[in-house]
Amino acid sequence: MYFEKDAARGVEATFLWLMEEIGELATALRMKNDMANLHEEFADVIAWITTIANVAGVDLAKALSDKYGTGCPGCHRFECDCPMSEKP
């Protein structure tokens, strides 16, 4: 939808827009009763991550499948069983 504009802006500048949207999502998360705003901000964050992947030449669906398609990268289960002290 916005590839031409985002490609012209470049990855670094587009990433700054993502950071702004992350801040807006953080604010929306603090306002727990405004579900409409939460929906909007989650959608914005996903959209900006997707466009950055596109501009960077990353197939986001493939990247997600490669990393998480067989479960948690740590314990390899679909319901993570890793200790809370570890990532993820």
9 lies in which domain range?
Answer: 3-57
**Are the C-beta atoms of 71 and 55 separated by less than 8 Å?**
no
Is 45 found in the same domain as 68?
no
Q: pLDDT: is 15 or 3 the higher one?
A: 15
Is 78 found in the same domain as 50?
no
* Backbone CA torsion sign across 21, 56, 10, 2: negative
Any idea what the Cα angle at residue 40 is, between residues 38 and 44, rounded to 5°?
Answer: 115
Is 49 found in the same domain as 15?
yes
Predicted local confidence at residue 88, as pLDDT:
61
Is 40 found in the same domain as 10?
yes
Q: pLDDT: is 32 or 28 the higher one?
A: 28
Is 64 found in the same domain as 47?
no
Alpha-helix residue ranges (DSSP H) falling in 1-88: 3-9, 11-30, 35-56, 60-68
Question: Token pair for residue 85?
Answer: 């002290």
3-state secondary structure of 78: coil
Question: Token pair for residue 3?
Answer: 């590839």
Q: Give the number of domains in the chain.
A: 2
In tens, the pLDDT along 32-69 reads 889 999 999 999 999 999 999 999 999 999 999 999 99
Is 53 found in the same domain as 15?
yes
